[in-house]
Amino acid sequence: MASITFEEIMFTVMSATQDTFKSYMNIDLLAGKVERRVDPVDSDVTGIVGIAGDRVGYIIIATDKKSAQIVAKELLMVDEAEDECIRDAVGELANNIAGAFKTKYHEQYGSVALGLPLVISGQLRAISEPPEENEVTSINVQCKGVTIPFRNAEGTIDLKIMVYM
């Protein structure tokens, strides 16, 4: 079996994200500068899918409510996106991106299994960071991985994909 580098995983996730948006919503996403560290991420909605197999980790999608509403309307083909629709759409988006990643990874490197998508809200911060004084909700994540920002050309969709493997 071929050895896979973290860079290959990162580029596969970037491609899976862009392909998912183009295929399911006809939206072109532009990837921003990849950060090889974990910064706190404020997000109204976050979708998480676990990856298991030869490599284990997570794909995490974090976005604001405005972007999530646009995604929900396009992905679910609805006129209005209430909170339940947004949760469903972000879970489906996380699942689709992880599924596209799984397909590409499996073709080249072997067995991959996906967990069920988990959709949450709050601030993501590295576990090594102390909580803010007035912090109410936060999720601690492991420190190694990358954060890949994405936007559409119009600037109406803004999200971050984090990869831990």
| Each residue's pLDDT expressed in tens, for the chain with a length of 165 residues | 456 677 887 888 899 999 999 999 999 999 999 888 656 666 889 999 998 887 788 899 999 999 999 999 999 999 999 999 999 999 999 999 998 888 877 776 677 889 999 998 876 655 555 656 665 544 555 556 788 999 999 999 999 998 887
pTM, whole model, 2 decimals? 0.82
Tens of pLDDT, residue by residue over 85-98, are 999 999 999 999 99
Query: In the structure encoding, which two tokens stand for residue 26, read together?
Result: 């006809």
Query: What structural domains does the chain harbor?
Result: 6-164 (3.40.1550.10)
What's the mean per-residue pLDDT of the chain?
83
Query: In the structure encoding, which two tokens stand for residue 82, read together?
Result: 């209430």
